[in-house]
Structure 1
Amino acid sequence: MDLASRYRGAYQAALFTAECVEDAHRLGALDSLLKPWVRREIALCEHSLNHCDSKMDLADAVSGLAAIAPRYARLRRDLFSDAHHLGRPEPPWRKVGPTFAVRAPLQVWRQPPAYALLRRDHGSGTAGTQSWEFTVFARSGDPSEPGTTFTAMLFPDSGIGEGTVQVVKELQNQREWYEQLDYAFLALGRNVGLAGLYDPDRGQHPPPIPPTD
């Protein structure tokens, strides 16, 4: 078997592994984001062999491809346990990739929502702004649940970490959801401020009190 055929076999094995762990550890509504994400990650490696000029390049390409499926399998096992297994700490936000995080709360006693934060633009917008999507899945166990998605705009701000996140009032008023948005950015290692949050430790202050007549 030639090198190209062997690499193609590794590529197909990564896809097959992803399919098997998805069938074994089903994650309801979160799968609408997780399944496309892992397939995009694997697809990015599909033609890596074409860019290999040395044995070291080949080793890096194969290692990168081979690492995706085991990492994805561990993530799904952890999320499945977060949602279904008692006797564990409060489920944390879990980092899927550099710009993607999800949270699957315990579903045993009640049915709290699941959450996801994903950067969509993957490039800097005007003046360095970034566009993110924050999705709340009210029926997190239902794979057909579309969720409610809010756009979160991250604006550079020299006084507050990496910048300030602005969202619509509808999300700000849902304080539990708004709190989870803050935790999501923290899980990704992003030190941001939320425009509607008073946090003096991050240099944020309460909004000015309007003048009275």
Structure 2
Amino acid sequence: MPSPSCLLQGLSKEVSLAICSRDSEENYRWLQDHLENKMFHHTKVVVHPVYISNNANEFYKVAPRHDFAILYHTKKRGRVNVTNVTDSLYDQELRYLHDKLGKKSVVVVIDDLEESGDHDKNRIQSAQEDLHKYACNLFLFSTTDKNHINGQRRVQGGVADKLKALKKEIKTGRRKAKRRKSTKFPPNRKTRPAEPSDDHQ
């Protein structure tokens, strides 16, 4: 039977990622596809959709099992009401992800916006302060952004910068998760070969 350290080494190139949302999987299928099939070359990203129902029991049970979490919201609901506003949808859930996984392992994605620039990001974060308090980053995507991502050509410009930043956050969260696992299965003292890098993408 493989030793615990060998098991840990086998898991080192895989990221277990939860996309948590009150919205259907169809709304963020584009994001799941990009994460699993396009973002990394040498790291396997396993995405688990976690639906947040009104009682949220499944969310509270399942979400902490992952290495990294994306809290997803679409403006198709009509408003950008993630937290700190009237009828906000994710006050408790965002804080819970922060408390269980740590700030470095949580990001928020807001989708289907008309505008998704830095000015819009700053405006939303100023009005909904917990987005900065409990998540390491906020990513905004417009319908136009998604068309670029889903297109056949190489993504460039501001959209590419967002995806690169998201990739960086996931890699940081993955390293944090590896440290958590290593406390349960301490690695042996033999020097391990360096892992292949995804930085060339």
TM-score by length of 2: 0.27
More relative contact order in 1 or in 2 (CA 8 Å, sep 6+)? Answer: 2
Q: Mark the structure with the bigger radius of gyration.
A: 1
TM-score by length of 1: 0.26
